[in-house]
Structure 1
Amino acid sequence: MATQENNRSVRDATLDLLRELGMTTIFSNPSHTEMKLFEAWPDDFRFVMGLQEAAVVGMADGYAQATGTPSLVMINGGPGLGNAMGSVYTAASAHTPMVILGGQQARKMLQGEPFLHAKNATQLPQPYIKWAAEPARPQDVPALLAKAYNIAKQHPQGPTFVAVPEDDWVRPAGPPVKVRTVEAAVVPNPAVLARLADELNAAERPALVAGPAVDAQGARYELVRLAEKLGATVYGSPVWPRASFPESHPQFAGVLPPIPEMIAERLGAHDVVAILGSPAFTLFTSADLFSTADAELDTSPLPGLPEGTRFLHVTDDPEAASWSMADAAYVCPPGLAVKQLVPLARQRNGVAAPVQKPTYPVPQASEPLTQAYLFHLLSQELPEDAVLFEELPIARADFHEQIPLGPSNGYYATASGALGFPFAGAVGYALARPDRRAVVVVGEGSAQYTLHALWTAARHKLPVTFVIPNNSGYLSLKYYLADQEAWHVGWDLSDVDMAQLAQGFGCPAERITSPDGLRDSLKKALAADGPVLLDVVVEDPGLFRL
């Protein structure tokens, strides 16, 4: 306990530090090893409870992306962090600034194997965090937390982790930690920007690839201006986790598929391509891996880009630059680079020719419902400034075809292959931005990973509308081995009733099986005072399209 000479505990010092850093919202699913922090919990802190650690970290991810500042998480550093690792992996992929405090057993217990022990605590979240620490002395906790905060918010941003033994919180604190100013002072080299501008200005058929960092760094509208001045075609980066360019813009040519052969096919028509704020490139598979036939010795070339096209890569991630397939990579803040390129870009004569986009038939009502019809109605009822969170491994094409997101729409999706971010991320976003309607469009399979976030949404009466196109299975898996009857059990999710599950968590919900009243249900759900879930049963959409 604190002594008479020093009546401030590590907990007191930490809370004072968190106030100074502006981290007074904490996301948690606490266990025994965190209880000492929460004793005499102050009224000026907001405690956001989650029912499972993956949902807790997912909510903190959405909150940080909404605020642009590090969020704070407190979970058990052993099994709790293990539960959350899929969400930590996604936060790292999205470069989300986040500080995770992991509960550890009391110091005197660590010689054995105590219950809830976080063995080798700093190693468990590796390599999906920027930095991890465990205090050598109890009084070091606030200083380590300040360091974790500053490292998390520096570019490339990402989660950090500090494991804190349970009894450290009530030990005497050391001298107050001085909160130092650590500002991002890295700026684009003017000579580099001039070369970039010269190459883009001289290009006959320029293209821009819009990565998530452009939007995260506040340069979305400047990217529109840059594209318009250059007359450039704009593509979304593969596995587009955040919209940095409006899909409704006439120069937008869609999101690049995460397959090297298809990327080369689409970008090969351009003489200069600038990749702004994304890796070059995030890949999921290659064309030859779609075959289920026995494979021979692999003598195929590594993934590559088309000859005759010059690729320029702007990223704030030195590691991504080191393995980039581009001809030249420049390490600097992409958002700031875009802003400073706008006045350097030469205004081309006339208006850029719009990208020739395919037209799609208007989906019609049917029984069973199609997801295309659901998305068509949803697009007509969406608030103009709605923020969409999407995770549809099998249905992303229908989503973007029917819901062309405009300049006022926010868009977030998982930045990794781990499922579950949008369901929880929207809840965290709504906690930070209750003035905007968050709309979650997630399949019933993906929803299971962070389903517990419904309870938090209901408890806080958050403006989140959950729309579930329920096709009764993990259909992204079904079509890989569709001809194997034994594989049926590997993808079949029939009889999952999302409406009943939502109601069990206290979230109003409705199950919809026909087009009758669907539009009215969407209207009410998008205008509700609090969360609503619509479980819309749809037919199998067939093999996914890229």
Structure 2
Amino acid sequence: MATVSEATYELLRVHGLTTIFGNPGSNELPFLAGMPEDFRYVLGLHEGAVLAMADGYAQARGGPAFVNLHAAAGSGNAMGALTNSVYSHTPLVITAGQQVRSTIGQEVMLANVDAASLPKPLVKWSCEPACAEDVPRSISQAIHTANLPAKGPVYVSVPYDDWAQEAPAEAQHLLGRSTAAAASLSAAQLDDLAGALDSARSPVLVLGPEVDAEAANDDAVRLAEALAAPVWIAPSPSRCPFPTRHRSFRGVLPAAVRGVSDSLSGHDLILVVGAPVFRYHQFVPGQYLPADARLIHLTGDAGEAARAPMGEALVGGVRDALSRLAGAVTPGLRTALPPLPAFPPARTSADRVHPEELFELVRGTAPDDAMYVKESTSTTAAFWSLMDLSRPCSYLFPASGGLGFGLPAAVGAQLARPERQVVALIGDGSANYGITALWTAAQYEIPVIIVILKNGTYGALRWFSGVLGAGETPGMDVPGIDFVALATGYGVTATAVRTGDEFVRAFKTALGSGAPAVIEVETELTEP
């Protein structure tokens, strides 16, 4: 008979989970000691970076990732990164080692006290199996739960003496199991929605990350063109669901009640697809909707539908709904929108690189199918106004705003998609949260390019201080950090630049190197 460890590895293999992201401790060694040769272990030097790498990997590959953490301490270290995975709906199967069963109640060293409660409420589901024989079934439940709508992270704590126990014969049934969502708009619902859009005087689309996660971008384009409707991206986007140079594209909605309402003013029907309604940030109160506007919400997340403060909601598969809806509405009812104007001229700086100039140079030099992982929060407006994102999975951003996602997520995304160049655009404040991921990039020869925008301060925080009227507060500046020295110490080639010409030379060298690279760019301080 197979052991619990052998049965679990076979289950992981069936589901394609043969890459394990982790940072091991003593509780995890009995599981890892049995790792088959066709599995790959990706070591990170801190659990926050481990989880963010797995997050980027899962989002880029469009499927779940497997994470192995160390007991309560390792789980706690990963908790900040876990907040991003929740709101990006990333399917992560997170396991943690536990002390041997007979000692857990004594709270011996490295016992995970009340392990199933530790990651709540951030995970969809968590457990510690009641007995060793139930470990394979619990892992199976975790995999299916993570991958069913709405996707998200799950957590399983396993006592380390369980792995050597004999697995029950019934565990073989787990290998043939499959689960799939089948939610779809009914014919009547589709007809009603298409009729509402056809009869609207001025419909507008608001698209969210679920559209990109389901690779429904082209369906969104077909619908926008059939309606001749403008398209906004929902506030605080973690992905880009619509091509940014399409004639319908209007930008990203501000993350405030009044800002959303003002931006959508004049539209009588607002169709929100694949996004919460809405994820506000700045507290700028106002009317939730423009006067006389109707809001209809399409989402695969019943929780998002239920907690929205306004509108009508339909819960089902976003890709299926968009595809069918694009063919159901009546084209030609409205005048086609004019093409977008040319890119605005990028601002420059006398003694450093302005972020607008930097993004213009990146746009002109990077491959057309480059994937961008961004965590420079003070340059948001500049990025969206100057970048040309046209392909699915071209942009990732921390979904809950938790710093430390960007640099490790870029490493994970590049590992998942070696055929596409991943370019990380990371602020100097953000970079320090996940800097240890550079070691992983070097050791595993992952050719990600990390561009660090160095302005010596928490730029977004300075802007927010003005929004709140807080004035000058302590802890806003981060001077004196040498990212070239840090990267070199981790084994990554790095260079520092202060002009646009220097950046282009360094960027082209990095693109042709086939190795990880860091480019530190002295940048002008801007506002989001």
- TM interval, short-chain normalised: over 0.9
Residue correspondence of structure 1 range 85-164 to structure 2 within 5 A: 85-164=79-158
Task: Check if 1:348 corresponds to 2:332.
Answer: yes
The residue identity in structure 2 corresponding to 1:181 is S
Could you give the per-residue CA deviations for residues 317-353 of structure 1, whole angstroms, max 9, x where no partner exists? 1111112234211111112110111110111157622
Aligned 8 A contact 1:365 1:515 in 2: no
Which of residues 25, 28, 34 in structure 2 aligns to 1:31?
Answer: 25
Q: What is residue 81 of structure 1 aligned with on the other side?
A: 75
Aligned 8 A contact 1:197 1:341 in 2: yes
Seq. identity, %? 36
Offset of 1:471 from its aligned partner? 0.5
Task: Check if 1:267 corresponds to 2:264.
Answer: yes
Aligned 8 A contact 2:67 2:93 in 1: yes
Q: What is residue 438 of structure 1 aligned with on the other side?
A: 422
Unaligned 5+ segments in structure 1 are 1-5, 289-300
Q: How far apart, in 2, do the equivalents of 1:480 and 1:147 lie?
A: 42
Unaligned 5+ segments in structure 2 are none
Change (3 A) 1:315 1:481: closer
Which of residues 481, 485, 499 in structure 2 aligns to 1:496?
Answer: 481
Q: How far apart, in 2, do the equivalents of 1:284 and 1:480 lie?
A: 10
The residue identity in structure 1 corresponding to 2:221 is V
Q: How far apart, in 1, do the equivalents of 2:14 and 2:318 lie?
A: 29
For residue 218 of structure 2, give the secondary structure of its aligned residue in structure 1: helix
Offset of 1:38 from its aligned partner? 1.2
Aligned 8 A contact 2:228 2:337 in 1: yes
The residue identity in structure 1 corresponding to 2:202 is R
Offset of 1:422 from its aligned partner? 2.0
Using the TM superposition, name which of 106-115 and 432-441 deviates more.
106-115
Which of residues 306, 325, 339 in structure 1 aligns to 2:309?
Answer: 325
Residue correspondence of structure 1 range 437-476 to structure 2 within 5 A: 437-476=421-460
Aligned 8 A contact 1:313 1:326 in 2: no
Q: How far apart, in 1, do the equivalents of 2:117 and 2:34 lie?
A: 31
Could you give the per-residue CA deviations for residues 141-172 of structure 1, whole angstroms, max 9, x where no partner exists? 10000000011100000011100011111122
Offset of 1:23 from its aligned partner? 1.1
Q: How far apart, in 2, do the equivalents of 1:417 and 1:364 lie?
A: 28
Task: Check if 1:218 corresponds to 2:219.
Answer: no
Aligned 8 A contact 2:235 2:252 in 1: yes
The residue identity in structure 2 corresponding to 1:471 is N
Aligned 8 A contact 2:212 2:392 in 1: no
Which of residues 2, 10, 15 in structure 1 aligns to 2:4?
Answer: 10
Aligned 8 A contact 1:76 1:103 in 2: yes
Q: What is residue 173 of structure 2 aligned with on the other side?
A: 178
Q: How far apart, in 1, do the equivalents of 2:523 and 2:56 lie?
A: 28
Residue correspondence of structure 1 range 300-311 to structure 2 within 5 A: 304-311=288-295
For residue 215 of structure 1, give the secondary structure of its aligned residue in structure 2: helix
Q: How far apart, in 2, do the equivalents of 1:317 and 1:408 lie?
A: 20
Q: How far apart, in 2, do the equivalents of 1:496 and 1:375 lie?
A: 23
Aligned 8 A contact 2:370 2:421 in 1: yes
Offset of 1:355 from its aligned partner? 6.8
Q: How far apart, in 1, do the equivalents of 2:366 and 2:66 lie?
A: 31
Offset of 1:364 from its aligned partner? 3.7
For residue 116 of structure 2, give the secondary structure of its aligned residue in structure 1: coil
The residue identity in structure 2 corresponding to 1:51 is L
Aligned 8 A contact 2:6 2:34 in 1: no
Q: CA RMSD in A?
A: 1.9
The residue identity in structure 2 corresponding to 1:284 is H
Q: What is residue 43 of structure 1 aligned with on the other side?
A: 37
Which of residues 201, 205, 213 in structure 1 aligns to 2:202?
Answer: 205
Could you give the per-residue CA deviations for residues 391-419 of structure 1, whole angstroms, max 9, x where no partner exists? 12211111122223234671111111211
Which of residues 386, 408, 422 in structure 2 aligns to 1:424?
Answer: 408
Which of residues 503, 514, 521 in structure 1 aligns to 2:499?
Answer: 514
Change (3 A) 1:277 1:437: same
Offset of 1:173 from its aligned partner? 1.5
Q: What is residue 351 of structure 2 aligned with on the other side?
A: 367
For residue 122 of structure 1, give the secondary structure of its aligned residue in structure 2: helix
Change (3 A) 1:91 1:221: same
Q: What is residue 462 of structure 2 aligned with on the other side?
A: 478
The residue identity in structure 2 corresponding to 1:529 is G
Aligned 8 A contact 2:64 2:90 in 1: yes
Using the TM superposition, name which of 340-349 and 241-250 deviates more.
340-349
The residue identity in structure 2 corresponding to 1:500 is A
For residue 451 of structure 1, give the secondary structure of its aligned residue in structure 2: coil
Q: How far apart, in 2, do the equivalents of 1:240 and 1:111 lie?
A: 43
Q: How far apart, in 2, do the equivalents of 1:186 and 1:210 lie?
A: 20
The residue identity in structure 1 corresponding to 2:212 is D
Q: How far apart, in 1, do the equivalents of 2:315 and 2:480 lie?
A: 50
Q: What is residue 291 of structure 1 aligned with on the other side?
A: none
Task: Check if 1:239 corresponds to 2:236.
Answer: yes
Offset of 1:526 from its aligned partner? 2.4
Q: How far apart, in 2, do the equivalents of 1:28 and 1:525 lie?
A: 28
Using the TM superposition, name which of 451-460 and 93-102 deviates more.
451-460
For residue 220 of structure 2, give the secondary structure of its aligned residue in structure 1: helix
Q: How far apart, in 1, do the equivalents of 2:343 and 2:414 lie?
A: 34
Could you give the per-residue CA deviations for residues 334-381 of structure 1, whole angstroms, max 9, x where no partner exists? 121101111101111576223766963233463132222222211110
The residue identity in structure 1 corresponding to 2:322 is V
Offset of 1:436 from its aligned partner? 0.5
For residue 118 of structure 1, give the secondary structure of its aligned residue in structure 2: coil
Change (3 A) 1:485 1:268: closer
Which of residues 387, 391, 399 in structure 2 aligns to 1:415?
Answer: 399
Offset of 1:28 from its aligned partner? 0.6
Using the TM superposition, name which of 351-360 and 191-200 deviates more.
351-360
For residue 102 of structure 2, give the secondary structure of its aligned residue in structure 1: helix
Q: What is residue 538 of structure 1 aligned with on the other side?
A: 523
Change (3 A) 1:76 1:408: closer
Change (3 A) 1:521 1:359: closer
Q: How far apart, in 2, do the equivalents of 1:168 and 1:356 lie?
A: 61
Aligned 8 A contact 1:217 1:336 in 2: no
For residue 168 of structure 1, give the secondary structure of its aligned residue in structure 2: coil
Aligned 8 A contact 2:497 2:520 in 1: yes
For residue 361 of structure 1, give the secondary structure of its aligned residue in structure 2: coil
The residue identity in structure 1 corresponding to 2:128 is E
Offset of 1:132 from its aligned partner? 0.5
Offset of 1:305 from its aligned partner? 1.5
Q: With structure 1 as the length reference, what TM-score do the two structures score?
A: 0.92
